[in-house]
Structure 1
Amino acid sequence: MAGDLSRISVLVVDDNIHMIHIVRSLLRGFGIIDIHETRDSGEALEITRMEPIDIVILDYQMDLLDGIEFTQMVRTAQDSRNKLVPIILLTAYTERSRIIAARDAGVTEVCRKPVTPHELYTKIASVINNPRPFVRSKTFFGPDRRRHTGANYRGEERRASEQDVDQVSAD
């Protein structure tokens, strides 16, 4: 449970106005009051530079910058003021390759369309209640991609050495 959400600020980015209305209605139902919205990913970048946004919810496929490109800009652009903002990607494209691309771009959570209130709330609660540490390596900056934290993890995505990355704090 995420608790009282009335004090968080959310930016909704989708080029489909109907999807913005759906997401806004869900967010208001969760108690979120401060909702910024735009259909333009370029304008969304400007909003993240000018406003204290706590969570970004954006569509995968958009004109100008898609969700992956937007995420990369937020995470790595020199003038990005909120590189650690949680980003929840909404997508109807859930092929493994696209989910991996989103993860590798620095997306925090992926929420499948058609979005349900339960799934969106679960993703918001996850980024609030269980924030993942951010890591920086030579080829990646974003939330720790590993979901397994045990020292005995031997999966394909296991790091060769913890010295390969730096953990980044919000300071």
Structure 2
Amino acid sequence: MATEEITKHGVLIADHSPHMASLIAVMLRSLGRRDIRESYDANRAMIELRRRAFDVLIIDDDLNGMDGVAFTKKLRACSDCQNRLVPIIMMSAAPDAKRIADARDAGVTEFLRKPFAANHLQTRLTSIETNPRGFIEAEAYTGPDRRRKTVDIGENERRTEAQKREAS
């Protein structure tokens, strides 16, 4: 009987196409990832996410049973799921600017346009690992901080307490 190896770099791929999921798994293995699970519909992906912790979820926008944006919103709202805070990389074959913004606003961490190469996937994984973003929980949004960079406004640009009171 085969034993399941769980590593600290576990990745769940959720794509309606077994061929695409397999191709992404091959890319991940070429990047040194070994603990890879595949799921082909929304229900199975949610079962996997409830079963064990993952470091990254790679999800297709067109997932069987639920689209990727709706799935992301459901996962981010699921207070009892251990993977609620997991970084999510969403893939889509033909996204427009509105769809990418919808994914970002649902709580997606990174986005990939299909087709993509292993180096594009590596760039997103490196970004997630080297620049982790805080998790925001607000009335209208739950997910990673959407701001990608911090801007230092300097001391001269800060308001004094008196200016703050005058502005209010």
TM-score tier after normalising by the smaller chain length: 0.7 to 0.9
What's the TM-score once normalised by structure 1's chain length?
A: 0.82
Aligned to 2:143: 142
List gaps (5 residues or longer) in structure 1: 1-5, 153-171
Structure 1 residues 1-171: aligned runs within 5 Å: 7-152=8-153
List gaps (5 residues or longer) in structure 2: 1-6, 154-168
Which structure shows the bigger proportion of residues in helix conformation?
2
What's the TM-score once normalised by structure 2's chain length?
A: 0.83
Q: 1:151 deviation in Å? A: 4.8
Q: 1:72 deviation in Å? A: 0.9
SS at match of 1:56: strand
Whole-Å separation in 2 of the counterparts to 1:66 and 1:108: 16
- Counting aligned pairs with the same residue, the percent is 39
Contact 1:7/1:32 (<8 A) preserved: no
Whole-Å separation in 2 of the counterparts to 1:77 and 1:84: 10
State the superposition RMSD in angstroms: 1.3
Contact 2:40/2:64 (<8 A) preserved: no
SS at match of 1:148: coil
Larger radius of gyration: 2
Whole-Å separation in 1 of the counterparts to 2:149 and 2:12: 29
SS at match of 1:37: strand
Q: 1:148 deviation in Å? A: 3.5
